[in-house]
Structure formats: structure tokens, C-alpha cells
Amino acid sequence: MRYSALSLLGNAFSKNKNWKPAWRNPDPKPHYDVIIIGGGGHGLATAYYLSKVFGVRNVAVLEKGYLGSGNIGRNTTIIRSNYLLEGNNPFYEFSMRLWEGLEQDFNFNAMVSQRGVINLFHSDAQRDAYTRRGNAMRLHGVDADLLNRDQLREKLPFLDYENARFPIMGGLMQARGGTVRHDAVAWGFARGADQNGVDIIQNCEVTGIDRDGDQITGVQTTRGAITCNKLAMAVAGSSSHVAKMVDMRLPIESHALQAFVSEGLKPFIDRVVTFGAGHFYVSQSDKGGLVFGGDIEGYNSYAQRGNLACVEHVAEAGMAMIPALSRVRILRSWGGIMDMSMDGSPIMDRTHLSNLYFNGGWCYGGFKATPASGYCFAHLLANDTPHETATAFRMDRFARGYLLDEKGVGAQANLH
């Protein structure tokens, strides 16, 4: 059923008794053309675009838990395309353009809100760096505006402009950035893919990968063996764990990142704001809670939770930026596992096995990339060539020295 004002009205008159589940819950078939491991945002988006744009419909998405139980439901919902590097920027802008038309495209309300993303700067050097990034964005056709302190005060009067150590001098704004209701992204892609005939199989963990020489023949799962022509990994967070099944070692470490939500407040912060003197980013949800986060924990982790040291650090950074937060109570915090790659950028490529495809290494920037990641990965799966915006995300770029290191910190995963 297509959702519309009319369907809403019709169901209201029938007392909302006739709503159907948004997707089926099928048993796995013995064989698929393409199996996608991972029913998170990227896996579901891949299935959606594969079935919709590239005409590959005999597809299964295998999810070890329930749909959307991983990072797609654990992030801070921010979308933006304010990247510096040539290999990154066109890809994230492609993603932004997909976000802009996404709700009409998959007929689901994902609450895409282009409220603007502002990165604060606190020194002359940082202003220069942000100017450079803003110019790079504009050269790629992305909107970017450098705001001085007075312009910023009009938009965000509650910041600590006179902070003795980190005075706020201005900010780089991408007005088209914003937030999206993250769970709805998973649900919308799942529903769209399901309607195109994709089987979304939940509670189905891949326990082994079957090989014949350099060919993948299928997977072993907790719901039996399934064969396939092509196998796609979209398991960011657990990439190393799954890759180990085919003896791959990756330039990736798994790290825990926490996110937080405060008690509900009256409208207060109407944009996404990021601190430039520490790692802190905040927006306010439509329910009123402040949604915010900071740095990863710093040690390898597969536990979907963090520790108190990071909670304190994030709270301190938030206080330094917005002193008015001092009496706001944190309602909940939770953690997710990040695929931290060695240059801070993702990997989307073929592998040493002829029909195994890899998508991972999203660090903590995977959410904003969801639609483009799905589209480009589907392109790779269907055509065996990378999409024009994703040519830099090669697996061998580390060995060849073509790193995509936005931050310039080198091969130290916990610093990206």
C-alpha cells in the first residue's frame, strides 16, 4: 500500500484496524542472486537501490538481530556534505541530494529536516582551515557560508562567545545540512526493498562463508545454508569479524562511540552545532530532547556501550560550548560499534574473491552516507565498476598511498 493523506484518512475511518505490516517476514529461500550481509541502513539501502534502480530483485538481506538494531538506530541523525577532499566531497553531496528527494522516492516520512549545520571556529588558524574547506565545498557545487561572530550571535545567542580559552570567532555553515529521523530511514528502505521483492531475513546471523577456490558459493547462517551468485558485506562495526571468515585482514579497528539524549526541553537549538575546540555536536529533536555526542572511547571494542570517562568528557565539551546546559539532565546514553578505518574514510570495493564485495570502514560518519552508500554499492554489485562518486574508496588505496585522510592524523584509528 502506498502511504498518502488519503490512505491515512481511510484507515482513520476504519479505526486503524487495517494497517498491514510495512514489510514481510519471509523464510530464506535456498538461493539468491545477491545476498547482502547486514540489515542496517547501508545494507537495506543497497537492497533498495539494487532492486529499484539496477533491476536485481532476487536479493536477500541477512540481519543477525532485528532490523535497525545496529548503528542506524544509534547515531545522532546528522546529515551534511561539508567535506574537504575531492575523493569524499562529491560522494557526500550525492548522498545529500538523495536525502533531499528520499521521502518522495521511498514513500515514507523520514522527517528530513535541513535546518543547517554550523561548525564553530575558535582561532585564526581554524578560520583559515574552515575557509579552505568552505571554498572546496563551493568548488564542488555544495553550499557553504562563513559566518562571523555577529552573524553567529543572531542565530545562536546561547553559545559561550567569551570563553577565556576558546572564544568563538565564527562558524562555517552548510544550510542544507540537518537531521533525519534515523529509524525511519531503516524502515523506509526496508519497506521499499520489500515491495520490490527483496527478502529481509531477520534473526539470521551469518556463521560461515562457503568458498570454492576464489569463488563464494554461499553462506552458513543460524537459519540454514543459503547459496548465492554474489555476496555483499555491509556490516560496518563488525567488518573484521565477518571478513575473518574468508581470511581477510582489514585496515579497520572497531571502536565504541556513545550518543546521548537529554530530557525534553522547549525549543532551544534549532540547528546542528559542532564545537571546534573539542569534539561535541548537538541538535534538538522534535520531541525536545537534545541529541548529542563526542569522541569515540579510544580502545578497541565490540561492546555496544561506552564508559564514564567519555560521558564526563562529552559533558565538559558541551558545557564549554553552551554553559546553559549545566542543569540539563541526561535522559539516556547508548553505544554503537564504529568501523574505524586507518584514514578515517570508508571502503567500498571488490575483494580478492571474485564475487565478494565489501562496504565498511564508515568510522562514525556512516549515517549521512546511507543513501549514497546504498546506491553506489548497488552500482558496484550490478556493474562490477564503482559509481563515479565512489571511485576513491578503494580497498588498495592504503597500499598504494592514496589515503583519504580528511583530518590528516595518519594510520591511528582512534584519532580519526
Partner 1 sequence: MSSLVKCPHCGLRPREEFTIRGEVATPRPDAGADEALWFDHVYLRDNPRGEHREYWHHSGGCRRWLVLTRNTLTHETSDVVDASTLKLGERA
Q: Which residues bind partner 1 (CB under 8 A)?
A: 238, 240-241, 249-254, 297-303, 307-309, 313, 342, 398-399, 411-414
Residues 6+ apart with CB under 8 A from 273: 117, 118, 120, 156, 159, 171, 281, 282, 283, 321
Cβ 239 to partner 1 shortest distance, Å: 8
Beta bridge partners of 218: 210, 227
Q: Which is nearer to partner 1, 303 or 324 (CB)?
A: 303
Cβ 368 to partner 1 shortest distance, Å: 24
Contact assessment for residue 70 and residue 237, using Cβ atoms and an 8 Å cutoff? yes
Cβ 300 to partner 1 shortest distance, Å: 5
Contact assessment for residue 381 and residue 105, using Cβ atoms and an 8 Å cutoff? no
Cβ 86 to partner 1 shortest distance, Å: 22
Half-sphere exposure of 384 (CA within 13 A, CB side): 5
Residues 6+ apart with CB under 8 A from 56: 33, 34, 50, 378, 381, 382
Cβ 263 to partner 1 shortest distance, Å: 25
Q: Which is nearer to partner 1, 143 or 205 (CB)?
A: 205
Q: Which is nearer to partner 1, 93 or 297 (CB)?
A: 297
Measured between alpha carbons, how far is 249 from 52 in angstroms, rounded to an integer? 33
Q: Which is nearer to partner 1, 132 or 244 (CB)?
A: 244
- Three cell numbers, residue 386: 564503482
Q: Which is nearer to partner 1, 8 or 303 (CB)?
A: 303
Q: Which is nearer to partner 1, 254 or 351 (CB)?
A: 254
- Three cell numbers, residue 316: 565538559
- Three cell numbers, residue 192: 521499499
Beta bridge partners of 36: 61, 232
* Residue 399 neighbours by CB distance under 10 Å: 9
Contact assessment for residue 259 and residue 300, using Cβ atoms and an 8 Å cutoff? no
Q: Is 220 exposed, middle or buried (0-12, 13-18, 19+ CB in 10 A)?
A: middle
Cβ 114 to partner 1 shortest distance, Å: 36
DSSP 8-state secondary structure symbol assigned to residue 390: G
Q: Which is nearer to partner 1, 221 or 341 (CB)?
A: 341
Measured between alpha carbons, how far is 53 from 193 in angstroms, rounded to an integer? 11
Q: Which is nearer to partner 1, 115 or 313 (CB)?
A: 313
Contact assessment for residue 223 and residue 201, using Cβ atoms and an 8 Å cutoff? yes
Helices 370-383/182-195 angle, 10° precision = 30
Please report, as a single letter, which amino acid is at residue 164: A
Cβ 234 to partner 1 shortest distance, Å: 17
Please report, as a single letter, which amino acid is at residue 272: V
Q: Which is nearer to partner 1, 194 or 297 (CB)?
A: 297
Measured between alpha carbons, how far is 368 from 180 in angstroms, rounded to an integer? 9
Measured between alpha carbons, how far is 204 from 95 in angstroms, rounded to an integer? 29
Please report, as a single letter, which amino acid is at residue 319: M
Cβ 193 to partner 1 shortest distance, Å: 28
Measured between alpha carbons, how far is 371 from 405 in angstroms, rounded to an integer? 22
Q: Which is nearer to partner 1, 185 or 413 (CB)?
A: 413
Cβ 312 to partner 1 shortest distance, Å: 8
Q: Which is nearer to partner 1, 290 or 413 (CB)?
A: 413
Cβ 253 to partner 1 shortest distance, Å: 5
Cβ 27 to partner 1 shortest distance, Å: 28
